[in-house]
């Protein structure tokens, strides 16, 4: 699937000169002369005014402050549009200079010169290689982001690249990156780094990796590995040459070589190996058996001394098991799960990246290491199929509810997120309290049904309750007549993964939830006699039933049927794929209790999340393609 056609992509090439003023409410008004709008024949001289209002969902110290820009309606014919402008670090300037001229012009010399007048982007406009440089800047109060790039950062980067390309009339970014000379691409990196709190060299590397198509090739085959060994013999550490010969990037082959020491064992560690590992670690770090050692270890040296294992194996064994074992660690329990979620919630961080795992892990005997704890969090988090889309706070609250639910562990159905009505692009967080949704499964005694058992039986699902819904191959909704109530109907030849036993009605989960009148009735028309006439009632507004099948997307036909119903307009439970990024994708969702192995996350990732811009991150794209 291609995300390139995400609708509503923002056009950034409306090159006009604009003027900021401030109104009495403190809003910044952006006056924008209507001359340069490209092909627009209607040379409407009416100036377009935009109001900049601070987006307060995003005021964490580490994330860029962003301003939403809305057009103020001037006339009916005025094509309104909406832009989100990231104004990182420019905030202060904007606030103190109530009036300034900014030229967003074709020539990005202008662009940079207007920035140059200040140190607003000191971080992203410097190459900087040393720690001291970093410290100096940080001490001066500049933000310095490092570590994994967040989705937001990538979006900014992609947008920057996009507008650079548009300004230059270049189609393919790889032209600039791999073909142009230094001179020709002068200022490329400088321009695209704008708005990011990372030094240029970080941006530079990120971009190289992103667009190097020899970099996301996937698993090494056995032949490749053999060939790699040969090449290694021949060329030593000349990774560029080896990579070229293999059709892989230099860093890829370098990394692969790190995994294979000729003397490496695989599989389970022997006691002797473990003993040696412990000895070596303690020796190299000047610590004693029983001490917690979670950083400051040179794993390359450790591996050398251990002899039979690679550095990664050593590190992994130590941080995920051995150190904990030796310092008297205790087993991780379900309670620990809950405790972890609570602890994280207590931190009240806006973003996962702000969590200090070292501190969190301190004095917690069932935690094997901070690194391990972090991965533990990941496994918890990934039980939520769409965790990638959910705002951190929502995810957290949802998990907390789930974990604390007193309900029996069997048949737990959890849904995170609720529908935030329509339209209003209101803050995604806070208001939307994830709830557990009671799901009732009853037999329907409706209409026809020739089935012999009007009595109903318990419905148990293969293993996790929601699997039933996930596996629904396709369906459509039919209004039942009762407002907000629909039949959700599957195709006749598709059997639900439901089996009936002998029990009348079953509530899959019974958590406290806001009473809600809205119901969805699922009516299976499966040919399978056992599953005939099964109705699933769910009472909650805005449940999204995500059809996640192995073939990915729901049947488009059914989708369209679904959306034609007028009263589905507000409550329409399933619309995600359709609606793309029209703003209502916030927060509604579905947790799944099923093993992660099953859920293809590919279809719920980027499309609805990619906010603006028409470029796709090739890395993401690659991952999607690969996940088939």
What would the DSSP string read from start to end of 497-536? SEEE-S-S-EES----------EEEEE---SSGGGTTEEE
Minimum distance between the CB of residue 453 and DNA, rounded to whole angstroms?
Answer: 23
Shortest reach from residue 527's CB to DNA, in Å: 22
Q: Quote the DSSP letter at residue 423.
A: S
The DSSP secondary structure of 381-426, one letter per residue, reads: HTTSTTTTTS-HHHHHHHHHHHHH--S-STT----------SS---
Q: Which is nearer to DNA, 252 or 533 (CB)?
A: 252
For DNA, the closer of residues 482 and 596 by Cβ is 596
In angstroms, the CA 463 to CA 411 distance is 8
Residue placing its CB nearer to DNA in the complex, 37 or 341: 341
d(CA 547, CA 469): 7
85 phi and psi angles, rounded to 5 deg: -115, 130
170, 572, 610, 627 from 599: Cα distances, Å: 38, 23, 20, 11
Alpha-carbon distances, residue 265 vs 313, 334, 496 (angstroms): 10, 34, 46
Which of 523, 342, 520 minimizes the C-alpha distance to 415? 520
CB of 89 within 8 A of CB of 121?
yes
Give the whole-angstrom CA distance, residue 405 versus residue 510: 9
The token duo for 152 is 């937001």
Output the CA torsion 359→362→365→368 (10° steps).
60
- Residue 174 CB, shortest distance to DNA, in Å, is 13
At residue 154's C-alpha, the angle toward residues 351 and 372, to 5°, is: 45
To the nearest whole angstrom, how small is the minimum distance from the Cβ of residue 132 to DNA? 8
Q: Give the contacts of 374 (CB within 8 A, at least 6 positions apart).
A: 355, 357
* Kind of pairing between the strands at 28-32 and 48-54: antiparallel
- C-beta closer to DNA: residue 259 or 512: 259
CA distances from 63 to 56, 96, 111, 353, 415 (A): 11, 21, 23, 11, 28
Q: Which residue's CB is nearer to DNA, number 38 or number 267?
A: 267
Contact 318, 324 (CB under 8 A): no
The minimum distance between CB 57 and DNA, in angstroms, equals 22
State in angstroms the smallest separation of the CB of 461 from DNA: 11
Minimum CB separation from DNA for residue 375, in Å?
6
Residue closer to DNA, measured from CB, 422 or 627: 627
Shortest Å, Cβ 77 to DNA: 45
CB of 386 to DNA, least distance (A): 13
Cβ proximity to DNA: between 140 and 219 the closer is: 219
Rank residues 14 and 251 by Cβ distance to DNA and give the closer one. Answer: 251
Of the pair 44, 133, the CB lying nearest DNA is at 133
Give me Rg for the CA atoms of the chain: 28
Rounded CA gap, 509 and 493, in Å? 29
Give whichever of 185 and 342 is closer to DNA, judged by the CB atom. 185
Least separation in angstroms between CB 210 and DNA = 7
Q: Are strands 519-523 and 485-490 parallel, antiparallel or unpaired?
A: parallel
For residues 129 and 424, which CB has a smaller minimum distance to DNA in the complex? 129
Question: Residue 350 Cβ, how far from DNA at the closest point, in Å?
Answer: 16
For the bound state, the minimum distance from the C-beta of residue 391 to DNA, rounded and expressed in Å, comes to 17
Give the residue with the Cβ less far from DNA, 259 or 430: 259
- What H or E segment, with its residue span, contains residue 521? strand 519-523
């Amino acid at each position: 699937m291609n995300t390139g056609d995400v609708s509503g992509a923002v056009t950034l090439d409306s090159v006009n000169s604009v003027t900021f003023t401030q109104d009495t409410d403190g809003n910044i008004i952006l006056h924008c002369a209507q001359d340069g709008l490209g092909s627009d024949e209607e040379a409407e001289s009416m100036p377009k005014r935009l109001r900049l209002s601070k987006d307060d969902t995003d005021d964490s110290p580490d994330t860029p402050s962003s301003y939403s820009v809305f057009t103020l309606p001037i006339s009916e014919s005025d094509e309104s549009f909406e832009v989100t402008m990231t104004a990182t670090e420019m905030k202060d300037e904007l606030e103190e200079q109530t009036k300034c001229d900014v030229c967003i012009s074709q020539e990005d010399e202008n662009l940079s010169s207007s920035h140059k007048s200040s140190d607003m982007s000191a971080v992203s406009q410097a190459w900087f290689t040393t720690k001291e440089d970093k410290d100096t800047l940080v001490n001066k109060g500049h933000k310095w982001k490092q570590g994994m790039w967040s989705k937001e950062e990538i979006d900014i980067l992609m947008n920057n690249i996009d507008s650079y390309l548009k300004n230059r009339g270049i189609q393919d970014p790889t032209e600039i990156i791999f073909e142009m000379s230094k001179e020709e691409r002068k200022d490329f990196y400088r321009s695209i780094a704008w708005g990011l709190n990372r030094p240029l060299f970080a941006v530079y590397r990120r971009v190289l990796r992103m667009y190097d198509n020899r970099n996301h090739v996937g698993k090494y085959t056995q032949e490749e590995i053999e060939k790699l060994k040969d090449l290694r013999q021949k060329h030593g550490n000349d990774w560029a040459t080896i990579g070229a010969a293999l059709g892989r990037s230099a860093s890829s082959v370098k990394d692969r070589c790190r995994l294979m020491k000729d003397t490496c064992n695989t599989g389970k560690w022997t006691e002797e190996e473990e003993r040696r590992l412990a000895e070596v670690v303690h020796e190299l770090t000047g610590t004693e058996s029983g001490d917690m050692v979670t950083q400051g270890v040179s794993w390359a040296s450790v591996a050398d001394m251990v002899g039979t294992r690679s550095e990664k194996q050593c590190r992994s064994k130590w941080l995920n098991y051995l150190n904990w074992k030796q310092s008297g660690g205790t087993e991780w329990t379900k309670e620990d799960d809950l405790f972890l979620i609570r602890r994280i919630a207590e931190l009240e961080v806006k973003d996962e990246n702000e969590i200090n795992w070292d501190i969190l892990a301190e004095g917690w005997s069932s935690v094997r290491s901070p690194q391990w704890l972090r991965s533990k969090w990941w496994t918890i988090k990934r039980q939520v199929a769409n965790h990638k889309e959910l705002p951190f706070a929502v995810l957290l609250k949802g998990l907390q509810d789930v974990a604390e639910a007193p309900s029996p562990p069997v048949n737990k159905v959890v849904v995170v997120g609720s529908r935030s009505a329509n339209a209003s692009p209101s803050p995604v967080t806070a208001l939307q309290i994830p709830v557990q949704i009671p799901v009732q499964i009853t037999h329907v005694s409706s209409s026809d049904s020739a089935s012999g058992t009007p009595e109903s039986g318990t419905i148990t699902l293969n293993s996790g309750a929601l699997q039933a819904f996930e596996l629904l191959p396709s369906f459509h909704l039919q209004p039942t007549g009762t407002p907000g109530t629909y039949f959700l109907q599957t195709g006749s030849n598709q059997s639900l993964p439901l089996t009936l036993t002998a029990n009348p009605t079953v509530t899959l989960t019974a958590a406290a939830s806001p009473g809600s009148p809205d119901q969805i009735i699922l009516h299976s028309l499966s040919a399978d006699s056992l599953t005939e006439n099964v109705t699933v009632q769910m009472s909650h507004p805005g449940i999204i039933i995500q059809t996640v099948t192995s073939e990915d997307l729901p049947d488009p036909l059914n989708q369209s049927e679904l959306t034609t119903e007028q009263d589905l307009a507000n409550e329409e439970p399933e619309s995600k794929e359709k609606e793309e990024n029209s703003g209502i994708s916030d927060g509604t969702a579905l947790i799944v209790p099923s093993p992660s192995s099953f859920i293809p996350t590919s279809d719920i990732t980027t499309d609805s999340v990619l906010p603006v811009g028409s470029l796709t991150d090739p890395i993401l794209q690659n991952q999607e393609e690969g996940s088939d």
